Amino acid sequence: MTRTVPAILRDLKARWADLKDLPVRFLFEDDSARFADFSFGQGDLLADLSKTAMTREVLSDLLALAEATGVEQKRDAMFAGEKINTTEDRAVLHVALRNRSNRPIKVDGADVMPDVNGVLERVCDFADKIRAGRIRGATGLPFTDVVNIGIGGSDLGPAMAARALSPYREGGPRVHFVSNVDGAHITDTLADLTPETTLFLIASKTFTTLETMTNAASARDWIASKLTDRAVRSHFAAISTNISKATEFGIAEDRIFGFWDWVGGRYSVWSAIGLPVAIAVGAESFKAFLAGAHEMDEHFRTEPLGSNLPVLMALSGIWHRDICGFATHGVVPYDQRLELFAAHLQQLDMESNGKRVTLSGEPATMETGPVVWGAPGTNAQHAFFQLLHQGTEIVPIDFLVAAEPHEDLGDHHDKLIANCFAQSAALMVGRDAEEVRAQLAEKGMEPDAVEALAPHKVFPGSRPTVTLLYKTLDPRTLGRLLALYEHRVFVQGAVWGINSFDQWGVELGKELAASLLGVVRDGASPEEHDPSTAGLVAHLRSLRGR
């Protein structure tokens, strides 16, 4: 008999009640196949889920949950171009942007692939001409620096990817990212740049976002004042779905790269929003990045749920969030070049799944998106790992590490991997009081002192981790990793029954900021705002003397 979702959740909770006091390391004792059975692959990429408290029974219940919540049907609807973003009446087709097989994908009956391929070719052509110095600035000099002005999905994805793929730059221009409306960001970025050799990319799906438009106007003033008004056309390009606004801004039509309303901002690095990445690493590497994502798409689209990497990663997240009650999710890549990975995932996951109502507008019955955070190892070990090992809050962590580095630099990479493996082992195995006491006694410590110190040196263990291990962080693998996390987010949203593709939660703050600008900049009365905000305005005015 098929179980209902509440029945499956009840069963999972009962399993957790039995498992929660059982050390995870014990799960390996009578089970020599545990590592093999709980590690899942896609090509050279392996995800080890064995260091979690999931048992075969748990996994089977979680797979039943995926089936009962219609994950496969929802996935197929996304790939088929159905308008699954119901609150905005839009299809969700970032997978079309990297559909290197060119299989037709239709929205409203029309295949989107010819347009997708057309823009991709323009992006690649422009990128390679900038790299080769065939497109130059107003004074005839080649571009040495490219500044992407955008925020959120128009910044985080490309900034992360350009940084991750820096070994593939091969003499391409330096790429910078300006996002914050804080004038410090653009000021500090431009301080070291030369107008004659700087190209600006204005990246905004809507071309109305306050931060981006403010920074774009300052960049245009910088070029116009240091060069000429006419130079603006040679030093700017735009990436947007709002072509008329980009033209109005003064950007030449052949420098505007479009995309479509079915590309969500946080899923847009695969579109023309990826232009800074294409300029940084060249068209060939950019296409390899897309091809890697397409490989993961095909895996997600065709692999049975029980061996489907994004599905399994998502289900382990559901287990930790909804059954074990762990409220946050950490991502720790042992790769300095993935230093922006957690920041990108934070938007991807929290903007997608930070929802409190289901698709039908009813309150969600399960906990939805966790708080996502992280930083690269080994640095993170010296910052927040104390809490991971011995704090009262349990944080499931994803570790990411490559077998091969890009550098030939002594034993740096061996030390990096050793640290990564050591952390997940320590988090799982822990160190019990008996072992601690024996160690202290062996050092000759008095029994009283041993008893006083021992509790501080105990590691409870059983702290869940998933390790992703792959050959090397090349464009293809970065594409696979990012697509893996996108689909992980999708599957979780599907299980929770929410819309992972809208973001109404960012609207209220934007509206209030617009009205408070009238108060802060133009001296309007703060009366209509709450008393606390009005109090802050009064203190601000006293500090500014106006």
Active site residues per annotation? 351, 382, 510
Burial bucket for residue 367 (CB in 10 Å: 0-12, 13-18, 19+): middle
Plot region of 404 (φ>0 → left; ψ -120 to 50 → alpha; else → beta): beta
Rounded Cα gap, residues 341 and 159, in angstroms: 9
Rounded Cα gap, residues 69 and 85, in angstroms: 17
Regarding 512 and contact with ligand F6P (CB under 6 A), the answer is: no
Which runs of E-coded beta strand occur in 39-144?
39-42, 45-48, 106-107, 110-111
| Among residues 45, 423, 503, 526, the one that binds ligand F6P under rule CB under 6 A | 503
Of 93-152, binders to ligand F6P (CB under 6 A) are: 151-152
To ligand F6P, the closest distance from the beta carbon of 152 in angstroms equals 3
Cβ neighbours for 328, distance < 8 A, ≥ 6 positions apart: 370, 371, 372, 373, 393, 395
To ligand F6P, the closest distance from the beta carbon of 249 in angstroms equals 13
Regarding 418 and contact with ligand F6P (CB under 6 A), the answer is: no
Regarding 206 and contact with ligand F6P (CB under 6 A), the answer is: yes
- Indicate the residue type of 41: G
To ligand F6P, the closest distance from the beta carbon of 362 in angstroms equals 24
Cβ neighbours for 38, distance < 8 A, ≥ 6 positions apart: 48, 49, 50, 52, 54, 59
Regarding 514 and contact with ligand F6P (CB under 6 A), the answer is: no
| Number of residues near ligand F6P (by CB under 6 A) | 14
Q: Is 23 helix (H, G, I), strand (E, B) or coil?
A: coil
To ligand F6P, the closest distance from the beta carbon of 343 in angstroms equals 13
**With respect to ligand F6P, which residue has the nearer C-beta, 209 or 423?**
209
Q: What distances in angstroms separate CA 113 from CA 75, 102, 271, 411, one per listed residue?
A: 19, 7, 12, 46
When computed from its CA atoms, the radius of gyration of the chain, rounded to whole angstroms, is 26
Characterize the bridge pairing of strands 106-107 and 465-470. unpaired
Rounded Cα gap, residues 331 and 329, in angstroms: 7
Regarding 172 and contact with ligand F6P (CB under 6 A), the answer is: no
**With respect to ligand F6P, which residue has the nearer C-beta, 265 or 526?**
265
Regarding 204 and contact with ligand F6P (CB under 6 A), the answer is: yes
Regarding 153 and contact with ligand F6P (CB under 6 A), the answer is: yes
To ligand F6P, the closest distance from the beta carbon of 213 in angstroms equals 8
DSSP letters for 306-329: GG-HHHHHHHHHHIIIIIS---EE
**With respect to ligand F6P, which residue has the nearer C-beta, 151 or 491?**
151
Q: Euclidean distance between the first and final Cα of the chain, in Å?
A: 72
DSSP letters for 326-374: --EEEEEES-GGGTTHHHHHHHHHHHHH--SB-TTSSBPSS----EEEE
**With respect to ligand F6P, which residue has the nearer C-beta, 400 or 498?**
498
**With respect to ligand F6P, which residue has the nearer C-beta, 285 or 503?**
503
**With respect to ligand F6P, which residue has the nearer C-beta, 265 or 282?**
265
To ligand F6P, the closest distance from the beta carbon of 38 in angstroms equals 35
Regarding 205 and contact with ligand F6P (CB under 6 A), the answer is: yes
Regarding 506 and contact with ligand F6P (CB under 6 A), the answer is: yes
Of 295-334, binders to ligand F6P (CB under 6 A) are: none
To ligand F6P, the closest distance from the beta carbon of 165 in angstroms equals 21
To ligand F6P, the closest distance from the beta carbon of 378 in angstroms equals 31
| Among residues 265, 276, 497, 526, the one that binds ligand F6P under rule CB under 6 A | 265
Rounded Cα gap, residues 546 and 540, in angstroms: 9
Regarding 154 and contact with ligand F6P (CB under 6 A), the answer is: yes
| Among residues 69, 85, 198, 212, the one that binds ligand F6P under rule CB under 6 A | 212
Plot region of 468 (φ>0 → left; ψ -120 to 50 → alpha; else → beta): beta
Q: Which residue is nearest to ligand F6P (CB)?
A: 265
| Among residues 179, 209, 308, 500, the one that binds ligand F6P under rule CB under 6 A | 209
Of 348-377, binders to ligand F6P (CB under 6 A) are: 351
Regarding 158 and contact with ligand F6P (CB under 6 A), the answer is: no
To ligand F6P, the closest distance from the beta carbon of 301 in angstroms equals 25
**With respect to ligand F6P, which residue has the nearer C-beta, 157 or 173?**
157
| Among residues 220, 266, 337, 413, the one that binds ligand F6P under rule CB under 6 A | 266
**With respect to ligand F6P, which residue has the nearer C-beta, 42 or 212?**
212
Burial bucket for residue 202 (CB in 10 Å: 0-12, 13-18, 19+): buried
Of 36-95, binders to ligand F6P (CB under 6 A) are: none
| Number of helices followed by number of strands (H, E) in the chain | 22, 13
**With respect to ligand F6P, which residue has the nearer C-beta, 433 or 506?**
506
Confirm if 94 and 265 have CB atoms less than 8 A apart.
no
Which one of the spans 175-183, 204-212, 328-336, 526-534 is the region binding ligand F6P (CB under 6 A)? 204-212
To ligand F6P, the closest distance from the beta carbon of 210 in angstroms equals 9
Closest CA to 160 of 37, 339, 416, 333: 339
Helix axes 283-302, 71-79, angle to 10 degrees: 140
Rounded Cα gap, residues 36 and 28, in angstroms: 11
Q: Is 406 helix (H, G, I), strand (E, B) or coil?
A: coil
**With respect to ligand F6P, which residue has the nearer C-beta, 11 or 486?**
486
Residues in contact with ligand F6P by the rule CB under 6 A? 151-154, 204-206, 209, 212, 265-266, 351, 503, 506
